[in-house]
Structure 1
């Protein structure tokens, strides 16, 4: 069950909010915990063992947090045990097939590689559990005394499946005491509707062009259509994930939680370094706080700084997927960020128009590595983007882009406009007006119509 589904909007959410609203404040976390487990269970009905695994990780990390906080002499050992426990499950489910496949290729063996279904949200809830026990170890927060509160924190359904990655310290006080008001519910509904619009009315529609390009075959598209396709994918990925994050923030507001912002208009960046400070902010913060800084950050000289960046970007690539294209993607981003840090960054920041042109080319090319996992297909598409490279002979309709531009141009325009701050500035001015309410109602029912007609897709980040 996803947020952009009729089942969630018209069945689960109203039922949950009705029970939540009628429950006394001291029991609201218990209802949130129970409701979130029901929400998660509906996504893993075919693999009920994953529900037990999820509950086990909650219980284990709650206990480990207590040992770390109260057993100071052995705190490091308990922290190590907790980290191994959490990452063992992530490595097993997400990377065992990848490791065995590559071991077979390297050693020329035939070890069995079973298709292991990745538990929904495991990358996100693993990082939250680990951040909690690390923060307790560092004395940035005390351990949570209530298993119900901790369970509500980890399982909170607005951010359970695809983030944002919420640190315990961000919501610790809100778990114990938060103020529920009609204004927060109203603002939450508005934020949720905006996110739903990003997902259903922009991301899903532009995703149609990316599917059309794949159905045609990368070898049979023109260079112009290839660029249209990868730009469409770039917009789809952005509005898909940002839309989810907005919906998570809106749902959090409805329950009086402040879920952190995950995007800050990354497509306005002039460098890749700036882009990754604005994109998936909570993931970047997790890697910075738990890998980059503990390795020494930039405090131990240039060589170790470069090494630390390399480690972070290798982990970032692998976190997104157990495939070599994600490793390559992480390495390319590392290379670009080092190039900017030591050579061209100051120039791009000074001459921002040049920076925007640079990013207009770089963003789609890096997302291409992200989008296509097969290296042969990746090579075909890359040559299509750069027609001056050697090409094999394929039947290509020279004006194919004309047809698809006619179909998708309004969604491209929407993608460009909503990648800027202009809509946000307008929204802030009209937020309290009847016109804004009418506009958001139109967006909501437009989304409902699209979902009813089957014009909907799962969130792209669910696979990570």
Structure 2
């Protein structure tokens, strides 16, 4: 079930809100957990078992790390001393939590990838008899990359003494499974909502701002991301393209992935507000960045800060000199790329970002072109990001290299490309798509973020919000193309 669907907007969401506010305070978390499991199991009920397994393991590991006997110990739970020693059982509990989550993520996300590369390697070596050639293919559960990271953050925060373990299983299950951010983030760390799980206010102001977030997110998704995505798909899937078409397709994909994912984040934050929760900002005008370092402070903030706090800093961060810092950045981004998808294209995407981040850190400057005017720095950074997005979008590595070769004129368009250019131009340069592309550019580089624009909702803003909501719903009824990119991660 996706947010930008009639079944969610007109059936599930009204029912969920009605049930949530009808329930007494003590029953809200149970009701929200049941609704979230129904939301998650909509496409495949078996996925619920994986989510439940991760939740149960991390809940009991949290209690053990807090020095409590699960199910029997009723003493008040206190936060651990951040600088205090840890017992053997606490260390084992943390290890079990991390290994369980990484094992679930590794098996379901990378089994197919591992088998394919194993068979490919043996084929190169001529050992065809040892190839697995298995017919078994694992289906990737929705959102597993997000909720395993989220659940692990609970165990790590409890172990570090940065959060207090939850005694109530329903409260913890509600945190892990909350449907607004369950399948595509943002990654909500436990300490960010720990107090809200115990005490939070439900106000009309919060609810109204939540409606604004949902409406604006839906508009970004339906009115901007989907048309740009249609252009990108048409160009990337074409047999042959020209250089101009290649750059147009890369830019269209850059707009699609930004508005698609930021729209989902906006809607998730808005739904959280409607339920009384305040989730952190996940995007901050990333294409206004003047360096790759700045880009990762603005793009998918919940992931970049998660990788920083739970991987980069434990590796040593920037405490061991510029070269070691560059190596740490490269390793973190390499793993971040693999987190996004089980394919070599994602690994290369992460490696490129790691290389650029490392070079910037070694130079000790915000970017390699820091002496240029600000607008030129933004343009250079955007071009670098466009190049890396090709690996993110391409079906495979050969396709990515061919596409990049076309962008830079290294792959010459053959007669068939020239002959088909007119037909492809007729598809991608329609006034509707060109207008959407230009509007996406204006919104990207000129408009404030939803987070900032909705801080105070005036009557004029309310009118704009309602108009965009009605327009989005109307257009949604006519669109057949409506994917959510980050659902596959």
Stretches of structure 2 lacking an aligned partner (at least 5 in a row): 69-85
1:68 equivalent among 46, 65, 68? 65
Aligned residues: 459
Is the CA contact (8 Å cut-off) linking 2:232 and 2:252 kept in structure 1?
yes
What's the TM-score, normalizing by structure 2? 0.89
Distance 2:165 2:355 in 1: 39
1:19 equivalenced with 2:39 (yes/no): no
**Which sits farther off after the overlay, 333-342 or 11-20?**
333-342
Is the CA contact (8 Å cut-off) linking 2:326 and 2:359 kept in structure 1?
no
- Written as runs of structure 1 = structure 2, the 5 A alignment for 1:198-217 is 198-217=220-239
- Written as runs of structure 1 = structure 2, the 5 A alignment for 1:42-191 is 42-44=42-44, 48-70=45-67, 72-73=86-87, 74-107=89-122, 108=127, 109-113=130-134, 114-191=136-213
What's the TM-score, normalizing by structure 1? 0.94
Stretches of structure 1 lacking an aligned partner (at least 5 in a row): none
1:309 equivalenced with 2:333 (yes/no): no
Distance 2:376 2:460 in 1: 39
Distance 1:389 1:39 in 2: 46
Which residue pairs with 2:73 in the alignment? Answer: none
Which residue pairs with 1:432 in the alignment? Answer: 457
Shift of 1:390: 5.5
The alpha-carbon distance between structure 1 residues 231 and 179, as it changes in their structure 2 partners (threshold 3 A), is same
Distance 2:435 2:417 in 1: 28
2:437 equivalent among 376, 401, 412? 412
Distance 1:92 1:231 in 2: 34
Shift of 1:244: 0.2
Distance 2:176 2:157 in 1: 15
The alpha-carbon distance between structure 1 residues 429 and 151, as it changes in their structure 2 partners (threshold 3 A), is closer
**Which sits farther off after the overlay, 32-41 or 345-354?**
345-354
Which residue pairs with 2:81 in the alignment? Answer: none
Which residue pairs with 1:287 in the alignment? Answer: 307
Is the CA contact (8 Å cut-off) linking 1:249 and 1:259 kept in structure 2?
yes
What whole-Å deviation, never above 9, does each CA across 1:301-354 have from its counterpart, x for those lacking one?
233222211210111010000101111111111111222223464563443233
Which residue pairs with 2:3 in the alignment? Answer: 3
Is the CA contact (8 Å cut-off) linking 2:40 and 2:47 kept in structure 1?
no
Shift of 1:90: 0.6
SS at match of 2:194: helix
Which residue pairs with 2:74 in the alignment? Answer: none
Distance 2:101 2:427 in 1: 50
What whole-Å deviation, never above 9, does each CA across 1:261-283 have from its counterpart, x for those lacking one?
10010000011111011100010
Distance 1:21 1:236 in 2: 35
**Which sits farther off after the overlay, 375-384 or 291-300?**
375-384
Shift of 1:58: 0.9
Distance 1:101 1:80 in 2: 29
Shift of 1:419: 1.1
Is the CA contact (8 Å cut-off) linking 1:33 and 1:148 kept in structure 2?
yes
